[in-house]
Structure 1
Amino acid sequence: MTEPLKPSTRLRRVSRGDKPAPKSIGPSPTITNPTTHHQTTTPSALSLFLSRASGQETPSAYGGYSTTSYGAQGGDDSGGFLAGASSQQGSQGGGKAYQDESLRPVTIKQILEAEEAYAGADFKIDNTTVTQITFVGQIRSINPQPTNITFKIDDGTGQIEVKKWIDVDKQDNSNGEFELDAHVRVWGRLKSFSNKRHVGAHVIRPVADFNEVNYHLLEAAYVHLFYTKGSLGDSGSGGASGGANNGESMFVDGGGYGNDSGGAGGQTMSKLTGCGPQARDVFKLINDASSNEGVHLNVIMSSLKMPVREVLAASDELLGQGLIYTTVDDETWAPLEY
C-alpha cells in the first residue's frame, strides 16, 4: 500500500490570483555616451516592457541625446525626435524605412532647391540625403484648420509652408502661443505634394533669444561647408563630392561659396568671367603690379600695345564689376581687394 504524502510535502494548486515572482535578470548594463562621455544605464528589457504596458514610456529611456544651449539637436527638453517617431512616420508614408535620421540645420533656400531624383525619392542637399531638418524664421501667416495649422515661415532666403498637425486627444491649442512676425524654430521633415514642397513639423517653438537666429545661420553655414569643402584640416577633397553646384545656393545670392578658387579669389574669378578679353588682360596687368599707387593709363597702353579707347573701355568695365578703383587720379587704377 502506498504511503500517503505528509502535509509538509503535499502539492499546492496555484490559484489564478497568485503571481510567481519574476526571476532576476541581473543589473542593467552601463554604456558611455560618445558625445558627453557620461555613463548612462541602459534600461532592461523587463523595465521597458512594463513601462510600455503601463503607458508611461519615457523618452529618456532611449537616452543619449546631445543638445546645444538652444536645443537645436532636439532632445527630451526641447521636443526632439523619439526612437519610435521615425518608424511611425515611415509607416504612414507606405512603409518607407529611413536608415539615416540625422537632423540637419538648413536655410529655406536650401530647402526649396533641394534635389529630388524622382517623385517620392529622398531629398538631397549638397549631394547628401536629408530627412529631418531644422531652421529658424519669422511667421508671415497663420492658417488654422480643424486638423492642422499651416504657417508660412520666412528666414530672409525664402518662404515655405510649415504644417503642424493638431493632436485632438490632447486638445492642442498651440495656435495661441504664436504671433505674426515672431521668430520660431521648426523641426520637421521635408515633403512634397502635388509638386509643392512643405515641411511637416514635429515641433514648432518660439525663439526667446535672438542670438539663436545668428547661431542657427552659423551652424547651417558650418554644415554646408563641411559637405562641400570637407572638414577642417582636410586637403579639400573631404566631403565635397558634388557640392560645387549647390555651393552658391545656401543664401540669397551667395558669392564665393563653391568656387574652385575659394574665398575672395573665387569672387574675383566669378566677376572676371563676365568681362571681355581686353578687360581681363588689363586686370591681370593691374593685379600683378607691385606699386601701391596702381598702374597708370600710359603704362597699360605701352605694356599691352592697346589703344587708349580700349584701355578706357576695359577700365570702365572693371570699375563696374567692382574689381578696380582709382587712386591718385582718374587714370590710375589699383585692384580692389576683398
Structure 2
Amino acid sequence: MPGSQSNDSPNSKRSYGKDTLRPVTIKQLQDATHPHPDAEYFIIDGAEATQVTFVGQIRNISTQTTNVTYRMDDGTGTMEVKVWIDAEEFNGEENQAVAKPKPVEQGYARVWGRLKAFNNKRHVGANIIRPLQDFNEIQYHLLEATAVHLFFTRGPPESATAQQSKTGGAQANGMANGHAAVGGEGLPAGTSQATKKVYQLISTLPQGHEGVHVQQIAMAGNMEVSEVLKATDDLNGMGKIYSTVNEETFALLSF
C-alpha cells in the first residue's frame, strides 16, 4: 500500500511473501503476543499477523511536526494510530482544488497498518486512515473479524469439514483403483505435487464470492506461503484459476 512504513532491510524483504492483511479488533491487538523484540509481526490466535485493519471512533487527534496521532476506540479498547507526514504530499494536497475527506474527532474511520511496539507501548503505524462513508461498514467489519477469529480458533465450518471428508474418501477410492489421489484431475502431465495439492485445496476450501486467500491455503495444506504462491502462478498460467479481489486471492475458473 502507498506510504508503507516497512523497513527496506533484508529481513523485511525475506518476509514479504508472508505478509497478510487481517481484520481485527483493538482488544486482539492489545492481547497479541510478540515473539521477540525484533520481530516485524505479532501472533493473533496462533497465526502471524503482519498488516491489520480495523474500524473505530476517533477520540482525539494530536498533530505533531512529523506525524498525526489518532486515539481510536472500537468498543473493545483504545489504541493510538500514527500517520507519518510526508511534507511534499502534504503540500500537494493543500493545492488540490478538491480536498479528500479527512478524519475528524468523534468521527469513525478505517485504519490499515502494522502493529508496532515502542518502549513497551503499542501503537499502529498506519499506511492509510480514511473516514467512513457508510456506517454499515462498522458492523460488516466486526462480523468479518469474528469470522476470521473463529476460523483460526475453531477451524472451518462443519459443512466445509464434511465436504473435505467426502473429498478425502473419494481420493481414497481413487487410490484403490490405481488413480492419483492428489486431486490433480485435468492438470497437465508433469504438474508438481505442490501445484496439484493447491489446486485440490482451492477446490474444497470454504470460499465466498471472493475466493480463497493464499494464507488460508497455506494453513490448510501445512505449506509455506511462498510455495503456495508459486503453485498459484502455475495454475494461473494453465488457466485453471484466476485472481479476484487482489493478487493473493484466487478462485477456480469454471467453464
Q: TM-score range by the shorter chain?
A: 0.5 to 0.7
* Partner deviation per Cα, 1:166-209 (whole Å, 9 max, x = no partner): 11112256998222110000000111111110000000000111
The answer for the alignment partner of 1:115 in structure 2 is: 33
The answer on 1:124 being equivalent to 2:49 is no
Higher relative contact order (CA 8 A, sep 6+): 2
The structure whose Rg is larger is 1
Q: Is the 8 A contact 2:56 2:72 kept in 1?
A: yes
3-state DSSP class of the match of 1:219?
helix
Q: Normalised by the size of structure 2, how large is the TM-score?
A: 0.55
Q: How does 1:141-160 map to 2 (within 5 A)?
A: 141-160=60-79
The answer on 1:212 being equivalent to 2:137 is yes
The answer on 1:230 being equivalent to 2:149 is no
Q: How does 1:282-293 map to 2 (within 5 A)?
A: none
What is the letter of the counterpart of residue 162 of structure 1? V
Q: Normalised by the size of structure 1, how large is the TM-score?
A: 0.42
* Partner deviation per Cα, 1:226-276 (whole Å, 9 max, x = no partner): 0001111327xxxxxxxxxxxxxxxxxxxxxxxxxxxxxxxxxxxxxxxxx
Structure 1: state its 5+ residue gaps. 1-80, 236-338
The answer for the alignment partner of 2:186 in structure 1 is: none
- Which protein has the bigger helix share? 2
3-state DSSP class of the match of 1:116?
coil
**In structure 2, how many angstroms separate the alpha carbons of the residues matched to 1:163 and 1:93?**
25
Distance 1:181 1:104, change over 3 A: same
What is the letter of the counterpart of residue 158 of structure 1? G
Q: Is the 8 A contact 1:149 1:175 kept in 2?
A: no
The answer for the alignment partner of 1:191 in structure 2 is: 116
Distance 1:95 1:167, change over 3 A: same
1:97, CA displacement in angstroms? 3.2
CA RMSD of aligned residues (A): 2.4
1:93, CA displacement in angstroms? 9.2
**In structure 2, how many angstroms separate the alpha carbons of the residues matched to 1:148 and 1:92?**
23
Distance 1:179 1:144, change over 3 A: same
Count matched residues: 152
**In structure 1, how many angstroms separate the alpha carbons of the residues matched to 2:68 and 2:109?**
14
**In structure 1, how many angstroms separate the alpha carbons of the residues matched to 2:62 and 2:130?**
17
- Which protein has the bigger strand share? 2
Q: Percent identity?
A: 49
Structure 2: state its 5+ residue gaps. 163-255
**In structure 2, how many angstroms separate the alpha carbons of the residues matched to 1:214 and 1:152?**
20
